[in-house]
Amino acid sequence: MNREDILKEITEIVQDILGEEEIYLTEMSTAKDIEGWDSLAHISILEAVQSEYNVVFDLEEIIEMATVGDIITAVENKR
CA-closest candidate to residue 75, choices 25, 22, 10: 10
Residue range 55-71, pLDDT digits in tens? 999 999 999 999 999 99
CA-closest candidate to residue 70, choices 34, 37, 26: 26
Distance CA 67, CA 60 (A): 15
Q: Which amino acid is at 50?
A: Q
- pTM for the model: 0.93
Residue range 30-54, pLDDT digits in tens? 999 999 999 999 999 999 999 999 9
Q: What is the pLDDT of residue 13?
A: 98
Q: What is the pLDDT of residue 79?
A: 83
